[in-house]
Structure 1
Amino acid sequence: MFHRKPIEERIAERVAKRPPLTEGKHFEHRPALIVFCVVVTIALVKVIGAFFLMKSGLR
């Protein structure tokens, strides 16, 4: 359809063009790192907020 290569072949070509990762310099999957940091930050804000509410006497 439309004379295009299948998505698998296009992805494989893009991956083959990328330079190899250097150890310690790059995170293998950057969006996963960002999602992890956001989840940890949200959890910390919730815990700190809960302690603040308990300290102030609100329920």
Structure 2
Amino acid sequence: MFHRKPIEERIAERVANLPPLKEGKHFEHRPALIVFCVIMGIMVLKIVGVFLLFRFGVL
């Protein structure tokens, strides 16, 4: 349809053109690192919050 390649082929070509990942690097781009840090921060805040609620006898 419209003489375009399927999405799978276009993604495969784009990934094939990427340079190899540097040694010791876990995130390919900055937004992935930011999302990971935000999620980890929320998890830590929840755990600390529950411990504080137990400490003050609210729960």
Do the structures match in fold with TM over 0.5?
yes
Alpha-carbon RMSD:
2.3
Q: Give the TM-score taking structure 1 as reference length.
A: 0.64
Q: Give 1:1-59 correspondences, 5 Å limit.
A: 1-24=1-24, 26-28=25-27, 31=32, 36-37=36-37, 38=39, 40-59=40-59
Rounded Cα–Cα distance in structure 2 between residues aligned with 1:5 and 1:21: 27
In structure 1, stretches of 5+ residues that fail to align are: none
4+ residue runs of structure 1 moved beyond 6 angstroms?
none
Q: Which amino acid aligns with 2:12?
A: A
Identity %: 57
Q: Post-superposition shift, 1:55?
A: 2.1
Rounded Cα–Cα distance in structure 1 between residues aligned with 2:52 and 2:27: 37
1:17-58 deviations in Å (ceiling 9; x for gaps): 11111211x325553x555541x3233212211121122221
Q: Give the TM-score taking structure 2 as reference length.
A: 0.64
In structure 2, stretches of 5+ residues that fail to align are: none
Give the secondary-structure state (helix, strand or coil) at the position aligned to 2:8.
helix
Q: Which amino acid aligns with 1:42?
A: I
Change over 3 Å in CA distance of 1:16–1:7 after alignment to 2: same
